[in-house]
Amino acid sequence: MREHESEMRSSLESMLEPVGRYRSVRDDNGEVVDLLCVYLNRAGREMLGEEAIDNVLSERLRAADREHVLAFWIEAANSPEPVRYEYEVDEDGRQGHYQVQVLQVHDGVITSWRDVSAERRLQVELQQSATLWHSVADAATDASLTLGSDGTVLYVSATLCDFLGFAEKDVIGQHVLTAVHRHDHDAVEHALHAAAASDGRQVVEFRFWDPRDHARTLWLEARLNGIDTLGGREINVGLRDVTKARDERMRLGHQATHDSLTGLLNRNGFEHALDERLRAGAPTFVMYLDLDRFKPVNDQYGHAAGDEVLIEVARRLRSELRDSDIIARLGGDEFCLCGRPLPGDSELDALTRRLSNAVSRPIRLGNGWQVTVGASFGYTLANEASTVHELLDNADREMYSAKRTDLPFPSFFDGGDRDS
């Protein structure tokens, strides 16, 4: 038994946290009225001093704390459940915090102290940071909000309320995805999870239903930063309206890949789309076509008439193709298309005849004159080693070979058929 007690005392002496053993002091009625310190480990003696041993607790407490602290200890001495509380001390002019746990044992209590000063200072700093963040957010021109780690709205800035036209009470406690376009839910959820799990900054763009015009959506850019607070992990979000900037990017991107006259893809857009098909390993044909008898239209009626012809030819070609086919105006009177090949060369020949018939139907110009143009076609099939430029070159050569063998066509316009 003594050997066991010796081992326990040795273990207590090596502990970094202060630990003490107090015996109950009872009055004549047997009620616990105080506690007598009978043992302190080394950390306890360093914290409270050797003189604390063989002294009652009440004599070691500050007068201001004596009544309520003694009540905690007496409660613990009479309860099977541990009692915990915190108290503050001034250490060399610096405020310290200790967490105390008092646990009932035979005729007394075992007590341990834990220094939580660093934790409490951090909590105060976090609270101050959160308060500062909300103050700055309310004063800033950028809209902002704070979310819980699960995406629930905890705070919205006044700027955000003004910008989006809702009251704070309408959104606090709501999940942020409620107002996000359903097509962007995955992107926003990914950013939320990443911000909740790390300290890295996340940026995501998403569509937001405009509360003032339900037929319109706004594009917002969200910058998310995860932080630790007293209430747990939170996500600070800065929001910026990027609708105009995004529309401009889309417009410039469309200009870079589309023909301004016909609305079809241009060479850059077509080569990119064809390259994607080849990378995906999709079976692909490429067809090149060049208008016949187009130059006389420009010479006779001017470039405005030529533009009318190109626009109408583009419309006819597009109307004959499948939704999955891709068509472009490469420049001048040259067009190109690609798609999944139909079974057998005869089907591609049939497609060529159908497109040729569509192009060669008479076209009535705005000035009342009617003109007729034709087209020469050439196509090629892609294989596993094909590149974009190889396919375009092959289809181009096939088209020029066909053009050289074409028979002469009738006049490019039907004289005397002008509207009166």
Mean pLDDT of residues grouped by 10 in the chain (420 residues)? 60 82 91 92 88 90 84 87 77 65 88 76 57 46 77 82 75 84 90 82 83 71 81 82 81 84 92 91 91 90 92 94 92 93 74 92 89 92 90 91 61 41
Amino acid 92: pLDDT? 52
Amino acid 4: pLDDT? 53
Query: Range(s) for CATH 3.30.450.20 in the chain?
Result: 2-115, 121-246
Residue 18 near residue 7, CB atoms below 8 Å? no
Residue 388: CB atoms within 10 A of its CB come to 18
Amino acid 215: pLDDT? 64
Report which secondary-structure segment, H or E, holds 238. Answer: strand 232-241
Q: Which amino acid type is present at position 89?
A: V
Q: How far apart are the first and last CA of the chain?
A: 126
Query: Range(s) for CATH 3.30.70.270 in the chain?
Result: 258-405
Residue of 209, 218, 263 lying closest to 245 (CA atoms): 218
Amino acid 418: pLDDT? 47
Give the Cα separation of 3 and 192 in Å (integer): 57
Amino acid 333: pLDDT? 93
Amino acid 420: pLDDT? 35
The domain defined by 258-405 carries CATH number 3.30.70.270: yes
Residue 103 near residue 75, CB atoms below 8 Å? no
Cα-Cα-Cα-Cα dihedral sign, residues 68, 72, 77, 80 = positive
Amino acid 334: pLDDT? 94
Residue of 105, 117, 115, 114 lying closest to 39 (CA atoms): 105
Residue 102 near residue 37, CB atoms below 8 Å? no
The domain defined by 2-115 carries CATH number 3.20.10.10: no
Amino acid 84: pLDDT? 84
Task: Name beta bridge partners: 363.
Answer: 371
CA separation, residue 128 to residues 73, 105, 132, 138 (Å): 33, 41, 6, 15
Fold of domain 121-246: Beta-Lactamase (3.30.450)
Amino acid 336: pLDDT? 95
Amino acid 408: pLDDT? 42
CA–centroid distance for 412 within its chain: 57
Q: Is the pTM of this model over 0.75?
A: no
Strand order in the sheet with 374-381: 326-331, 334-339, 285-292, 374-381
Amino acid 413: pLDDT? 39
Write down the residue that tokens 């490429």 correspond to. Answer: 286
Residue 326 near residue 273, CB atoms below 8 Å? yes
Q: Which amino acid type is present at position 28?
A: D
Strands 326-331 and 217-229: unpaired
Strand order in the sheet with 232-241: 153-156, 143-148, 232-241, 217-229, 202-209
